[in-house]
Amino acid sequence: MKFALIIIIIILFIAILYLYNYRKQVRSITEQLKFIISHDTNKIIFCNMKDKEINKLAREINELINQSKNLKKEYVNKDIYLKNTLTSLSHDIRTPLTSLDGYIQLLKVSDDLNKKDYYTDILQDRVNVLNYMIENLFIYSKLQNQTFHLELETCDLKKILVNTIFQYYEEFEKENIDLSIEFNEDEDYSIVSNEIALIRIIQNIIKNILEHARDSAAIAMSKVNNEIILEFKNGFDISDKIDSNRIFDLFYKSDSARSKSSSGIGLAVVDELVRQIKGNIKCEINGTEFSLILAFIKSS
């Protein structure tokens, strides 16, 4: 009887000690959590007690803390990105608008008909640049919507490429850029894509070439396994310090492009559109040669 009583007392003592340590650990976790919530710290919940359930609770709380930190970091990064985007956007819109205002004033005071025609042509050119930039921004904004998807269909890449390039023939002549195009005329270059998206992709890349190319540019199209590869190459000025890791970032501009009419939107739109049509795009820089290589799914 005495032995049984001793056993019961020992069990009760162990239970009370366990309960005391359990409550002490819960209080410790509560205090640690209060500190973490009220301070900007990298601390996590530390558990002294070797209890399966209490340790599981600590791990779950630490996971929530990490998720909260990541969300906060993401929010801060998005806030910085938004502020930089708004700054770049206001600058890129203000620049052509200021230019427009200047030429409008010149147009008002000029009596020379030739000069009036000249200023009118420049104004039209500036308006076109502004319109194209706004169109690209609108497209980019739509592409950021997770519910937006392009309808895919069979497209004749060769036909779309040639027709789009032809629209810029005079601009290549004006900029003295020698453009070469290479593909097999007898080959079928049908791909799974979206025609409107393809046209915008090619337009934006051509405008990038016209903005930055030095003397010459080349376009080549070929078949590789089950893909159609479309490559754009152009030389660029040595002063153009291009960061290949940021080339598809919205509003990214090389150093010299900051003083030009480049908006830094076109290639960001290209990257998003290529993703939408299930293609791939990469940038390569060799010396002063800049290349954009696009891969599309060949139509069966």
Task: Read off the pLDDT of residues 163-178 as tens digits, 9 standing for 90 and up.
Answer: 999 999 999 998 999 9
Check residue 75 and give its pLDDT: 83
- Phi and psi of 283, rounded to 5°? -115, 140
Check residue 239 and give its pLDDT: 64
Q: Contact at 8 Å (CB) between 208 and 132?
A: no
Check residue 259 and give its pLDDT: 45
Check residue 1 and give its pLDDT: 65
CA–CA distance, 197 with 200 (Å, rounded to integer): 5
- Neighbouring-strand partners of residue 156: 190
Check residue 262 and give its pLDDT: 61
What number is the average pLDDT over the span 106-116?
80
Q: Contact at 8 Å (CB) between 158 and 267?
A: no
What number is the average pLDDT over the span 109-124?
81
105 has pLDDT over 80: yes
Strand 227-235 and strand 153-156: the pairing is unpaired
DSSP H helical ranges for the chain:
2-38, 52-109, 113-143, 157-166, 169-174, 195-212, 266-276
- Phi and psi of 245, rounded to 5°? -75, -15
The predicted model scores a pTM of 0.70
Q: For residue range 187-239, what is the model confidence (pLDDT) as tens digits? A: 999 999 999 999 999 999 999 999 888 889 999 999 998 999 999 999 887 76
Check residue 153 and give its pLDDT: 93
263 has pLDDT over 70: no
- Measured at the alpha carbon of residue 239, what is the angle toward residues 238 and 244, in degrees to the nearest 5? 80
Q: 162 vs 92, which has greater pLDDT? A: 162
What number is the average pLDDT over the span 47-76?
83
256 has pLDDT over 60: no
Check residue 244 and give its pLDDT: 76
Check residue 241 and give its pLDDT: 75
Share of the chain above pLDDT 70, in %: 93
Average pLDDT, the chain: 84
Q: From the CB of residue 182, how many other CB atoms can be counted at a distance below 10 Å?
A: 10
Q: For residue range 175-191, what is the model confidence (pLDDT) as tens digits? A: 999 999 999 999 999 99
- Phi and psi of 181, rounded to 5°? -125, 130
- Neighbouring-strand partners of residue 298: 191
What number is the average pLDDT over the span 77-83?
75
Q: For residue range 11-60, what is the model confidence (pLDDT) as tens digits? A: 787 777 777 777 888 888 888 888 888 888 888 888 877 777 878 888 88
Model confidence band, residue 258 (pLDDT cutoffs 50, 70, 90): very low
> Which range has highest mean pLDDT (15-24, 65-74, 82-91, 235-244)?
65-74
Check residue 111 and give its pLDDT: 80
Helices 113-143, 195-212: axis angle to 10 degrees equals 130
Which tokens hold the place of 231? 């490559």
Check residue 199 and give its pLDDT: 95
Range 49-55, long-range pairs (CB < 8 A, 24+ positions): 49/21, 49/22, 49/25, 51/22, 51/25, 54/22, 54/25, 54/26, 54/29
Check residue 79 and give its pLDDT: 78
Reference 230, options 210, 202, 211; nearest CA is 202
Q: Contact at 8 Å (CB) between 71 and 78?
A: no
- Neighbouring-strand partners of residue 233: 218, 291
What number is the average pLDDT over the span 136-154?
85
